[in-house]
Amino acid sequence: MPITTCIFDAYGTLFDVAAAARQAAAEPDFAAIKDTWPDIAEQWRLKQLQYTWLRAITGDHTDFWRVTQDGLDWALQKTGHDNDLTLRERLLALYWELQAYPEVPAMLQRLKSAGLNTAILSNGSPDMLNGAVQSAGIGNVLDDCLSVESVGIFKPDARVYDLVGARFGCARDEVLFVSSNGWDAAGAAGYGFSTVWVNRAGEPMDRLPSVPGTVLGDLTGIPDVAGA
């Protein structure tokens, strides 16, 4: 069946998760991380994801804001900045204002102009997602923001992907799911979605039972993949 619905992961896919550390490093008050901010951003993101997986396995769910804070605290200790509470507060504040990747607004507008449904499906809590969408100014080209909080478990649990069909009344093969996380794109592929892995860093394919259907370097080509 043709694609009717395009679903996007949020963090790392539409929104640049390194933007908070990069922006803080450019501010005079935080010159101490001028050279180390990429390591902080990488460690923060890694632990944030690891904590979602571990909580999903153990059934000890909490909202994404909690794991975001926990991941940052680990990263700051790892990089020797755990005593800088002002830096911690600034990084957390900036996470609510993450920049969208440059191609995002025009890409989403092409999908909407073609009559396709567009939405976010994210581990993020609803208030975090709304803050990011508003900051990026893309609310007018998204039909919805679907959060795992409605099912109480993180991706790639199938109950999260179920939210798409429940919201849009579409079959699995009508959905194009887009993520910058290879494991997320693989999980969605196993679920039955058509999938795109946005592999900006040129990383190897994850060794998992399912693989993404398409691999792109950025989001520019998504409308073409969707048939828009």
- DSSP 3-state percent helix, strand, coil across the chain (nearest 5): 50, 15, 35
Q: Which two tokens stand for residue 3?
A: 């694609």
Are the CB atoms for 56 and 160 separated by under 8 Å? Answer: no
Residue of 9, 84, 157, 218 marked catalytic: 9
Angle, to 10 degrees, between the axis of helix 85-95 and the axis of helix 64-78? 140
- Residue 9 catalytic? yes
Are the CB atoms for 108 and 222 separated by under 8 Å? Answer: no
Angle, to 10 degrees, between the axis of helix 64-78 and the axis of helix 126-136? 80
C-alpha closest to that of 176 among 13, 11, 3: 3
Q: Is the peptide bond before 156 cis (omega within 30 degrees of 0)?
A: yes
The catalytic site residues sit at 9
